[in-house]
Structure formats: C-alpha cells, structure tokens
Amino acid sequence: MKRVVSISLGSSERNHKVNTVMGSEEFEIERIGTDGSISSMIDTIKELDGKVDAFGLGGIDLYLFAGEKRYTLHDAKKIVANAKLTPIVDGSGLKNTLERRTLEYLNDQGWDFSDKKVLMVCAMDRFGMAQTFEKFKANMVYGDLVFTLGIPVKIRSLKTLYKIAKIVMPVIKYLPFKLFYPTGNKQETQIKKHKELFKWADIIAGDYHYIKRFMPEDLSNKIIITNTVTSKDIEVLKSKNAGYLVTSTPELNGRSFGTNVMEAVLVAMSGEKELSVKQYEDLLHKVNFLPRIVKLDQEDRRRDLLHG
C-alpha cells in the first residue's frame, strides 16, 4: 500500500484519512492540518520524510501563474525545502490538467458556458480553469485583487490580470502567505463583503476557502465549481440554496481532497519526483478521475446552462 500525506497550513478540523484504490494500487491518503503554523508543517514534513510515498502541500501554494510566468512564494519555498527524500507537490500540475478537463467534461455534457457570468475568486491559483472559462467565452470577473489584497477592483480579462501580476507579484511573493490567504482558524470565519459580486455571478469558481470566507447568506441558483469540500460544507451550501456543486477532484468517503492531494497520489503512482503535463494526462486517463456533480436544490437549476 502506498501512503500519501497532505501537510496543510489549514485548520486541523478538516483532517481526514481514507483507504482507497487508484488504478490497480491501494492507497492510504491522509490530510494533516497545522492550524496556520508553518513551523509545525516543517516539523511534520521532517518527521515523515522518506517514510511516505508523496507529500501534498496544502493550504498554501508553492507557485502562482500569470500566463507563461510562474512566481514562487517565499513561505512555501521554505516549507518544501525540508522534504529531502519524499516528493512534494502543491497541486499546480493538476490545476493545469485536471481542472481544464473538468470544464471540458461539463461542456461535453451540455453545460454551455458562453456568456455565463463567472466569478473566479482567484485566477492565478486556478489558472487552468480560468483559461478554459475564457476559451468557452464566459463573462468573467477575476477577484484576485478583491479577495487576496482587499483592493475593490474587478479584473475582466486574463490579459489585464497578467499585466497587474507583473507589477505586484515581485513584491507579493516575499510577503507572509497569511496576509493574502485564510490559514488556520481563519478558514472557519466569514467576512460578509463583496455581496454584489456573488449576486452578479451565475457561477462561482476557484479556491473554496476564498468562496467560503466571503460568500453571502443567499446563493440561490448559483453553481459552485471548486474542490476541497467536506460533507459539512455541502450542507452549508444547501442551506444557502446553491444550485449545483462541482468538484474537480473525485469524492472519497464523502470528501473531495485538494488538488495537491490527488496530484501527490499520481506522483506516488508514477514513482517519480516530477511529472510532465503529458505524464499527468496519461495518468489521469489511467485513473479516470471524473468531476463530482452534486445537485443541491430541489429544482432543475441546470436548465439555463444546458440551453445557453
């Protein structure tokens, strides 16, 4: 049996462990939250290094992307340097492959994204999904400045986002990650701001912790496309009357793990430390990950998407 462990900067309340079969191999998959403590992440990685088959880096990104430009976050770089023997991945390989495939799968199933109003809470984190929405001609608002830096400026195209990234990322990549992303217990608290953006959107997509932190009481008819949701999260979305939940990663015992976890599974499966896009695509074909689609309300809210 192969063992994959996600070491997360997030809340320990979301810890989870499952045993499952991927392809023809048995896996033990575990998520360990460190409640916002980078030093605890480092200690746990040191303790398990060489004893597990792959690490996922959770609750923090190693890389953010703006077009062809990749920015390495300083805090994450410090953490991953402590994995000397075991490969460690932050999920960006699947954000570039699986999350594109998720929207393409939905499109093949009849979900028409053209001119649909999409709020992408952070596109530099979910670059593959953002690029695919634009390919399908969705009407986009990117919340990178709004939700990460608190700057109330809506970005309407990836081209504009990339220009802004060239200016701000050389500084931001050195800032403490907790300044622009909810970590630890902050993942369980809400800031009810920017309601107008949620009200405007047909689809709310991207990192679930940003969505959860800012989402209003009423999500009637909204389609949420994300991952890393628990059974409790689904009940909250139902209570807010959201229409559909789509997760790019599959359900494992009631939980969709983050892309970092599932990417670590593929790396463990391959036996290599780093994989190319082609290798990820081949492994995704082998394990046949399909998005989870959960109808949350009692009426068929998907009809608008199905019929354009």
Domains of the chain: 2-90+253-287 (no CATH), 95-251+292-302 (3.40.50)
Cα separation, 54 vs 188, whole angstroms: 27
**How confident is the model at residue 305, as a pLDDT?**
54
Q: What are the pLDDT digits (tens) for 58-90? A: 999 999 999 889 999 999 999 999 999 999 999
Lowest mean pLDDT: which of 96-110, 120-134, 232-246, 248-262? 248-262
Q: What's the mean pLDDT in 218-228?
A: 94
**How confident is the model at residue 298, as a pLDDT?**
58
CA atoms within 13 A on the CB side of 263: 26
Helix (H, G, I), strand (E, B) or coil at 119: strand
Q: What's the mean pLDDT in 283-294?
A: 89
Would you say residue 111 has pLDDT above 90? yes
CA nearest to 246, candidates 98, 131, 144: 98
Q: What are the pLDDT digits (tens) for 17-30? A: 999 988 789 999 99
Residues ≥6 apart with Cβ < 8 Å to 10: 33, 34, 35, 36, 58, 59, 183, 184, 187, 209
Top-confidence residue, 306 or 208: 208
Report the percentage of the chain scoring pLDDT > 70. 96
Residues ≥6 apart with Cβ < 8 Å to 174: 74
Q: What are the pLDDT digits (tens) for 165-202? A: 999 999 999 999 998 888 877 777 888 789 999 999 99
**pTM of the predicted model as reported, rounded to 2 decimal places:** 0.90
**How confident is the model at residue 188, as a pLDDT?**
79
**How confident is the model at residue 101, as a pLDDT?**
93
Q: What's the mean pLDDT in 82-102?
A: 94
Residues ≥6 apart with Cβ < 8 Å to 247: 225, 226, 227, 228, 229, 256, 291, 292, 294
**How confident is the model at residue 255, as a pLDDT?**
79
The 10 Å Cβ neighbour count of residue 159 is 10
Q: What are the pLDDT digits (tens) for 225-270? A: 998 888 899 999 999 999 999 999 888 877 788 899 999 999 999 9
**How confident is the model at residue 23, as a pLDDT?**
79
8 touches 58 (CB < 8 A): yes
Q: What's the mean pLDDT in 131-149?
A: 97
Would you say residue 56 has pLDDT above 70? yes
**Tokens representing 83?**
């994995």
**How confident is the model at residue 301, as a pLDDT?**
47
The 10 Å Cβ neighbour count of residue 188 is 14
Q: For tokens 């949420």, what's the residue?
A: 224
**How confident is the model at residue 68, as a pLDDT?**
87
CA nearest to 113, candidates 128, 135, 141: 135
Cα separation, 139 vs 301, whole angstroms: 19
Would you say residue 216 has pLDDT above 80? yes
Q: What are the pLDDT digits (tens) for 289-306? A: 889 999 997 554 444 454
The 10 Å Cβ neighbour count of residue 195 is 13
CA nearest to 198, candidates 180, 210, 182: 210
80 touches 72 (CB < 8 A): no
